[in-house]
Amino acid sequence: MSCSRLRYFLTTLTIAFRTIISINPESLCSNGETCFKSRENFFAEKWNSYNDLDVGRQSEIVIPPPHHLYTPATSNIPNFKREVKTPSYLHVSKAIISPIKPNRPFSAGIFQDGNDFTYFGEVFLGSRNSKVYMLLDTGADSSWVMGSECKDPICTSRDTFGAQNSSTFEASETKFSVNYGSGSCSGVLAKDTLSFAGFSLKMPFGVATMVSKEFGNFEIYGILGLSFSKSKTPSFIDSVVASKTLQRNLFGISLSQTRDGNNTGVINFGSPDSSRFVGDLKYYLLSGDKNNWKIELGAAGFGERQIPMGMTTLFDTGATEMFAPLKVTNLMYSYVPGAESYDNGSSWLVPCDSTVNLVLSFGSDIYTLPPTMWVGSPTSTDGLCWSNLSGTDKTNGEWVLGDYFLKNYYVVFDIDKRRIGNIRLKLYLLTLGTGIANAKIQTPSTIPSPYPTNDDSSPSTTEDGESVSSQLPPRPGANLTSPKTSESISLQCANILLFYLSIPILWTISLAMA
């Protein structure tokens, strides 16, 4: 057996063993109905105090603002809340991390700010192909750019666009305005050629004459809405569909992470990019009016404390954090040791060394998010970090899963069939020496749900008539042409085997001492 196969086998075995020893024996039931009733009784006391939650509500969500614009507009937020490294908007060009250029048709690399905070595309407008950076936003249908007539400080520091930049610019007297959680913009609608990801579309978009100062912290000149149009004005994806360019009207998004090294973020249209994931894609039908990228969340919680939800969840690349209704987060964090509420529960501080997992259930699948995915940056208080799951009362009883969640997965947004493709978690191996340093494995993150689910509202299906599975990618930096000597291979394999065999022993000792 080769070392790569040995690593993969032992990694899988270790994950399985860890899962087995972490199971609460009381949670193992032979009768599904008994399990479900037991779960209901367990949460009855807590849940009764929150009986005014809008469970299953299908109302229209408030348009989420880009990233941390979703934080409450209060003046008493301390400076350490803003310790994320957002550069001054007078120097945005220094913060742009360019992506590796994709080689697939109808694809574009996704730029970011180097902090996994803002993800945007390079878009070209008008007859002169004026370049602008636009936030890629699946939570919005409106697209707009900063106009040349905008005199706000944020506009004067960016590349703007207007009639003087294009001979094909068509102005209109139709006004537009977009209000976000703590930011806004307004202006007039115009029509011109917008080129992005291999498309060149004559389409309407907003030209802003007023942009609030909150946008100054983001390396963007506008927003490219990737949701369905809610008005008579066609959105970008409406224009893509109308062009009849693609055999399948869908797009996939993979957001890069700074820890990966190279920026491999990409958005691709037409078919799933099987090089981005392992296994078979599953799909979840959109819920509600099916005009937003929302699916139903069956349950959520920390560790084994799962709370029935029945709420819609927006998959939003235009938001950095994850958001849930305030009363839901208040209940969830009561099961996180050391968690502290801040700003009336809109933000939470948790121990930086938290070990509990955040668990979300979609359809019959459970997604386990380790602390590395939901414990955020440190605060000025020793030992406490910000949680990436915040509470809000601005979503009408719905969840929002932003970039902190999405950047760990490959997500397919199927326009024709109104569904979201299942997403695959990227797992990282420990560095055990030069032989497997920085090795990366992609593996499915879902397991069968132990809870009853409503399959009619959020069914999970595999891809119709098409295999979308792929093989494990080669280890980054691996030498594929020069084989190592048998001695070095044997030594490396022996070290790997010794390391993995020691893990169960150490876990057993720790359990005995607990």
Query: In the prediction, which pLDDT does 507 show?
Result: 54
Least confident of 176-190, 289-303, 437-451: 437-451
Distance CA 19, CA 37 (A): 24
Dihedral in degrees, nearest 10, Cα atoms 455, 30, 443, 508: 150
**SS3 labels along 243-299:** CCCCCCCEEEEECCCHHHCCCCCEEEECCCCHHHCCCCCEEEECCCCCCCCEEEEEE
- What is the value of pTM for the model shown? 0.69
Higher pLDDT among residues 163 and 479, named by residue: 163
What pLDDT does residue 324 have?
96
- Decide if 78 contacts 71 (C-beta within 8 A): no
CA angle in degrees (0–180, nearest 5) for 377-312-29: 85
Q: Using alpha carbons, select from 258, 294, 328, 259 the residue that is nearest to residue 413.
A: 294
Q: Which residue has the tokens 């208040």?
A: 330
| Contact residues for 458 (Cβ-Cβ < 8 A; gap 6+) | 284, 285, 287, 295, 296, 298, 362, 363
Ramachandran bin of 472, using left for φ above 0, alpha for ψ from -120 to 50, beta for the remaining angles: beta
Say if CB 148 and CB 164 are below 8 A apart: yes
Are 122 and 131 spatial neighbours (Cβ–Cβ below 8 Å)? yes
- Per-residue pLDDT of 464-486, as tens digits, reads 434 333 333 332 333 323 333 33
- Per the model's pLDDT, the better-predicted residue between 334 and 428 turns out to be 334
Q: Which residues belong to CATH 2.40.70.10 in the chain?
A: 31-60+277-462, 80-260
Identify the three-state secondary structure at position 113.
coil
How far apart CA 156 and CA 462 sit, in angstroms, is 49
Q: What is the pLDDT of residues 20-54, one digit of tens each?
A: 333 333 333 333 333 333 333 333 333 333 333 33
pLDDT at position 381 is 87
393 catalytically annotated: no
Looking at residue 158, its amino acid is R
Q: How many CB atoms lie within 10 A of CB 64?
A: 24
Q: Report the pLDDT averaged over residues 275-290.
A: 87
Q: Which phi and psi angles does 87 have, rounded to 5°? A: -75, 165
Nearest-angstrom CA–CA distance, 222 and 353: 37
Contacts of 479 (CB under 8 A, 6+ apart): none
Give the Cα separation of 412 and 461 in Å (integer): 13
Which of 13-27, 320-334, 348-362, 424-438 is predicted least confidently?
424-438
pLDDT confidence bin for 79, thresholds 50/70/90? very low
* Span of 178-182, 272-276, 510-514 with lowest mean pLDDT: 510-514
Catalytic residue among 316, 365, 403, 414: 316
CATH 2.40.70.10 fits 80-260, yes or no: yes
Q: Please tell me the distance from the alpha carbon of residue 445 to that of residue 366, in angstroms, as a whole number.
A: 8
Instruction: Please say whether the beta carbons of 121 and 160 come within 8 A.
Output: no
CATH fold for domain 31-60+277-462: Cathepsin D, subunit A; domain 1 (2.40.70)
Residue of 113, 116, 137, 273 marked catalytic: 137
Assign 427 to helix, strand or coil.
Answer: strand
**Amino acid code (one letter) for 30:** S
| Active-site annotation holds for 464 | no
Q: Using an 8 Å Cβ cutoff, are 485 and 389 in contact?
A: no
- pLDDT score, position 393: 87
**Token output for 333:** 């964090």
109 backbone dihedrals φ, ψ, rounded to 5°: -70, 150
Contact criterion met (CB below 8 Å) for 362 and 400: no
Residue with tokens 């003087």: 164
Per DSSP, 485 falls in state P
pLDDT for the residue numbered 214: 87
pLDDT digits (tens, 9 = 90+) for 382-396: 899 999 999 998 888
* Integer Cα distance of 8 and 409 in angstroms: 20
Determine the angle formed by the axes of helices 3-22 and 486-513, rounding to 10 degrees. 10
Q: What are the angstrom distances between the C-alpha of 64 and each of 121, 181, 253?
A: 19, 7, 19
